[in-house]
Amino acid sequence: MRTVFTPLHALHAPATEFFRGERVPCFEKVDRARYVHEALVARGHRVDAPEVDSRAVLPQVHGERYLAFLESAWARWLALDPANAERQPFPSTWPIRTLRADCEPAEFSAQLGVYSMDSGTPICAGTWAAAKAGADAAATAARWVSQGERAAFVATRPPGHHAGPDFMGGYCFLNNAAVAAQALRNAGAARVAVLDVDYHHGNGTQAIFYERADVAFVSLHGDPRTEFPFFLGHADETGAGAGRGHNLNLPLPAGTDAQSWFQALAHGLAHIRQSHAQALVVSLGLDTFENDPISKFRLRSDDFLRLGERIAALGLPTVFVLEGGYAVDALGLNAVNVLEGFEAQAAV
C-alpha cells in the first residue's frame, strides 16, 4: 500500500497543552508520526512525499475566514510582542450561547477563542506548515486512489477529525479526512463514506458533512457523556436536511472490549454498504488500544489486523488517515497491522 508522509509534520512541536486544568507536556507529539514512519519502512511499505497542493480543496471543507486566521496566527502573535516567540497562545474567552461569533473581534486572543473549541490545541511557529502539509498528503492519497490504487495511507500529523468548518480543537487544525473525502468527490466519486474508528468522536468531520447526502459519516467512539469532545457524538445525531439519515454515531461505554467493539463495527460497516459509497476514507485513530494513556477501550495489537480485514471486505477504494493514538511505542505496530490486515484480505 502506498503511503504519503512528510517530515514537515515535525514543525508542529508545541511544548505544552492544558489538560483538565493543568499545563502538561503534549500528548500529541512528534514521535507519533516518527514511530509510524519507522514501522512502515521496516516492514517494506512504499513511502512517498505529497504531490498535491490542497489549497483548492481546503475552502470546500473549511471557511475562508478560518483558513486566513490559521495561516497568519503565529505571525500575528509575534507582532504583538517579539517575546511571544517563547510563549504559546491559548484562548481564554469563547463566544458560547448568546454571544456572537459572526462579528470577528480585532483582538488576537479573542479571535483565538472564536476559532478554538478548547484550550488544549496549542499553536506554535510551525503549526500552519505542518497542518497544510498534512492536508496536502490527504489530497495526494485521494488522487492516488482515484487514479486506481486500491488503498493509500496518510501517515502524518497533527490529526484532523476534530477540526470543523471554522474551528480547531482536539489537537486538530485542518480536517485531513474531510479533505480526502472532498478530493475523492471532486475526482468523480458520486458518494463517499467516512469511517471514524478513533476513540474520540470526529465532531469536526460530522459538522462538515452533516447536511450533505454525498458523504456518509460513521463513527465508533467513547460515549460523549463522559469522553471528549463531550458535546457531539450522540446516537440521535443522524444528519439534517439533505444529510438526514447519512450520519451514524455508535457511542460505546468506557471499558468496551474487542468483542463488543467489533459488533459495533459490523453495524457501521453495514450502514456504509447501504450508503452505496464508491470510495471510503478511514479516520484511523489508534487510541482504542488497551494501553492508550488517555482512552478507555481494550483493543490489542492483533485486533488491528482484524480491523484492516473488515474494512477491506467492503471492497471500496480506501484512503486511511492517521488520527489519534498516544501509546507512542505501539503506534507504529498498530498502524501497520491495520494496513497489512487490509492488504491480506484485499488479496483474497
Are residues 322 and 159 in contact, defined by beta-carbon separation less than 8 angstroms?
Answer: yes
- The answer to whether 162 is a known catalytic residue is yes
Which amino acid would we find at residue 19?
F
- Residue reference for cell 468483542: 259
Three cell numbers, residue 63: 471557511
Which amino acid, one-letter code, is at 192?
Answer: V
Cβ contacts of 333 within 8 Å, gap of 6 or more: 39, 301
Backbone φ and ψ of 58, nearest 5°: -55, -45
Identify residue 341 by its one-letter amino acid code: G
Residue 235 C-alpha cell reads as 446516537
Within the chain, where are the H helices?
31-42, 58-61, 64-80, 108-114, 127-146, 176-186, 203-209, 258-274, 301-312, 328-346
| Catalytic-role residue among 12, 62, 162, 221 | 162
The answer to whether residues 164 and 338 touch, using CB atoms and an 8 Å cutoff, is no
Residue type, 271: H
Say if residues 176 and 321 touch (Cβ distance below 8 Å).
yes
Helix (H, G, I), strand (E, B) or coil at 247: strand
- Reduced to 3 DSSP states, what percent helix, strand and coil does the chain have, rounded to the nearest 5? 40, 15, 45
The number of residues in the chain equals 348
Which has the closest alpha carbon to 86: 56, 124, 59? Answer: 124
Contact 281, 194 (CB under 8 A): yes
- Would you name the residues annotated as active-site residues? 162
